[in-house]
């Protein structure tokens, strides 16, 4: 049995498209949209590698794991994947990375890169939350720990990820006081 789904992915309208029952969002991204930057890790919602951003209620973004979420969950919603962050020119070439992507590059945060898209999306959502509700500079480490603690990096590069995020938050105006 099939159904018709539509949504907005990286500012592009997708669908209505006919999809089979039980299709997971990560399969939809990979097989229907050719957006393979979102990685399939544990397949059980534990490692958070497959995290994407969904525009939630009141304009507040939330992160959602796509390996355990059916495509129905994203119907009529605005979704951002790792491909939707960097700026591109009219030919689709990347011209500018986001501060989050730059921070991870500058800190040599990732090794194999499988978990990177999850870290980028979670950190981006965190930055957006902090822009609306800044925290005390002294609490930044705790805030990062809360936001990123579920993300598993099999290369165990946590320290460099966390350092990158900490530097970025402390050096971005308006996120702390």
- Of 18, 21, 106, 146, the one binding another protein (CB under 8 A) is 21
* CA-based radius of gyration for the chain: 16
Name which position in 6, 16, 18, 72 contacts another protein (CB under 8 A).
72
| Binding residues among 36-55 for another protein as defined by CB under 8 A | 44-46
Which of residues 71, 143, 148, 169 is near another protein by CB under 8 A? 71
- Residue 15 as a binder of another protein (CB under 8 A): the answer is no
ω into 96 cis (within 30 of 0): no
Segment (H or E) for 13: strand 12-20
Nearest to 6 by CA among 26, 28, 36, 38: 28
Stretch that binds another protein, among 65-73, 86-94, 130-138, 159-167 (CB under 8 A): 65-73
Strand-pair category, 78-80 with 51-55 = antiparallel
Return d(Cα 40, Cα 44) in angstroms, integer: 10
Query: Considering beta carbons, is residue 118 or 164 the nearer one to another protein?
Result: 118
Q: Which residues would be at the binding site for another protein (CB under 8 A)? A: 1, 3, 21-22, 24, 44-46, 67-75
């Amino acid at each position: 049995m099939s159904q018709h789904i539509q949504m907005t992915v990286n500012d592009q309208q997708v669908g209505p498209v006919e999809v089979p029952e039980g299709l997971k969002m990560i399969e939809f991204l990979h097989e229907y949209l050719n957006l393979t930057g979102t990685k399939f890790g544990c397949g059980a919602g534990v490692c958070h590698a497959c995290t994407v951003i969904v525009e939630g209620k009141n304009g507040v973004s939330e992160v959602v794991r796509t390996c355990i979420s059916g495509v129905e969950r994203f119907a009529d919603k605005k979704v951002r994947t790792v491909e939707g962050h960097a700026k591109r020119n009219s030919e689709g070439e990347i011209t500018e990375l986001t501060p989050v992507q730059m921070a991870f590059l500058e800190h040599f945060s990732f090794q194999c890169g499988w978990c990177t898209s999850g870290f980028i999306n979670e950190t981006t959502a965190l930055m957006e939350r902090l822009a609306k509700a800044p925290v005390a500079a002294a609490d930044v480490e705790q805030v990062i720990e809360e936001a990123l603690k579920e993300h598993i990096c099999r290369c165990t590069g946590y320290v460099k990820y966390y350092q990158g995020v900490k530097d970025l938050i402390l050096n971005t105006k308006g996120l702390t006081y």
